[in-house]
Structure 1
Amino acid sequence: MTSTNIAQATLPRTPFEGYASEEEINHWAVVAQQVADTLALDVLDRDRANNQPRAEVQLLRSSGLLNLLVPKQYGGAGGHFETAFQAVRILASVDGSISQLLAYHYFNQTGIAFYAAPEQQENWWRLTAEGGWLWGDSVNPVDPSLKLTYHGNGYVLSGHKRFCTGSGVGDVIIINAVVDGGPKHGQDLAFVIEADRQGVELLDDWDHLGQRLTASGSVKYHDVQITDDDVLGVVTDEPISTLLTPGVQLGFANFYLGVAEGALAHGRQILLERKNAWLFSDAETYSRDAIFQRTIGELKARTAAVAALAEKLNRRYDREVGRSADLTAEQRWDFAAAIAELKVVSTEVGIEVANRIYEVTGASSTKSDVGLDLYWRNIRTHTLHDPVDYKKIEVGQYYLHGDTPPLSLYT
């Protein structure tokens, strides 16, 4: 990678400002729905095949969704986070795997704004826009097995990292590792390398219950050469820099919401198509039976409540990131607590809907070719990413005492 120095005097810490217009939101909703409709055509076959999602990535690329958040002045669409979260939600209603790929890509890519110095961002933005890069990651904080050793004028990266979403199909991979030796000894660096750089071994070992097409396999690094030009920046506790992690959690919540909406819509379709009624029912059809209407009504109401909170926080994210270097730690933690609230309810409602929808669709809906299980498998898999009970504790501690957890890639 290379970097270009430009005048720093008038550059903000991040390039994001303002809110999404109705025109922007509507335009990208149409684009995302078109992508979702295409994915829906063979979603079950692709899930069963469990192949690397290369064609799906090309679909995202050709739609323009990969560069939605890249500022216009650097060749992107100049969109807002509210719009990006909406796209994640729409895709999740059909294909949770590709929704996750896109959500992770957005925050891997916008690491440019959260980690890189203002005068170094332009070249990174232009490279990602011109290359149509999908950004994978290798940052799993509970698997700290990477070693970044100072060597001459650069570094050598070695080790093994699991759960590297997008790495198997990404053009580049963003990595975090602490420097051993040299002038930056002990600093946690965020850096970016090509996925096919010499010494990078993509293991393609992701084979789980759900989220099967997220290219989340392990990566081994065999003495990979890293230069200063590959470095985005140092991972610090600057509030605007650490706002990336609540953004990731907000992406998760929108993904869970989309899965719930997809399961609900699919279940509604099945219920309306069911003939006759339960033998003890006085209704003509299952969909006219008050018992089934009550269940659908309960699930729909709870999903709508999560949607209302998500939409509020999605728009707020643009406000908070727009504060740039003026964002205070207090503002950051207050927003993180609100996102934790959403994470709790979106997790629980998403799992509940994906599970209980079977109560109204009946035993016949458990057939493999119906595909209703895909929603449950996907959300059950991803909601284990980090224990939701810890989010409940975060919410309670903050509400009671204003206490905050230690900074991490989970908080």
Structure 2
Amino acid sequence: MASITIIGAGPGGLTCARILQRHGVPVTVYDRDPSPDARNQGGTLDLRAEDGQLALREAGLHEEFLRLARPEGQEMRQYGARGELLFHAVPEAGELVKPEIDRGQLRDLLLDSLEPGTVRWGRALESVGGSGELRFADGTTVETDLVVGADGAFSRVRPAVSDAVPQYSGVSFREAWFSEVEQRHPDLVELVGGGSAAAADGDRGLFAQRNSGGHIRVYVIQRAPVDWIAASGLTIADTEGIRARLLESYAAWSPRLRRILTDNDGPYVDRPIFALPVPHTWTHNPAVTLLGDAAHAMPPLGVGVNLAMLDGCELALALAHHASVGEAVRAYEATMLPRSAQMQKMTEGGAEFLLSAEVPDFGYGEQS
């Protein structure tokens, strides 16, 4: 039986591995992190019925997902820079179009579903040969019939099939964390509600989202050079220095919104937004393929993880149902590449959308 190797233990790679194992196809996943708990997995995300949830159904994990998911997280609020509520979308009772789940919870759900030893931690990939030869940073090598690059926007697998590299969008996020929010940050709880809240003035924005466990994450969104922190004579650890710069930039905003910039717990996390060229395609290689951000990194508009999981699902099913790996990869790419190209075009320049003062159309639920 063919050997399948996935690089990257994110939602897309793990979804692919889980569905392969359900169909009796052996698979190994390698990840550069030394352990599953080596770093924080990030905030919350919505899993859509037509892709992320579809993949979980194929993985046999949809019921477990629903036990963890937060349907109330579908609530959305849009504010003006003066703090006025412009739009409020509330999900209907029983609405499960795109319930929220913490990234860490989703990853644990997928990891726990795999056979013991499937994921090999602390294995940083160095390079991939055109016929599927893997070379790791520790000097070891692995021969495999198929390498699946599920290792994100700055994939080490992608150079085996494509010369494309992610480009900086001109927009950066500063991520801020708030803990024990019901007790310590009640004003922010009132502002955000059960789901997410956004505000923008055309040049800068804020996006706050409820997480489980009494946490809220806020993304401070600005146009800025990719190295603006260093260029300002600061480091990411200089919380007070960065906060002073942000307060200056948001000086015209309401005091209620500006408190998001002053009350966060701990340091900021710098997250410049990169995206691959549009469209990103490659010449078919029966020994190497890509999924998720490795294949189609886009601005963070709620589609990335969903598409990664759908990619992983479709690739696994193709491998399970085709006579050869090469045929399976060709069938997968024949569907995935046009879909991702279409979505890349739809989201191109989407980082600018995050700064728009226009009220978005959330497309469901009650509005006020």
TM-score range for the pair, normalised by the shorter chain length: under 0.3
Which structure's CA Rg is the greater one? Answer: 1
> Per residue, is there more strand in 1 or in 2?
2
TM-score by length of 1: 0.26
> Per residue, is there more helix in 1 or in 2?
1
TM-score by length of 2: 0.28
User: Greater relative contact order: 1 or 2 (C-alpha under 8 angstroms, separation 6 or more)?
Assistant: 2
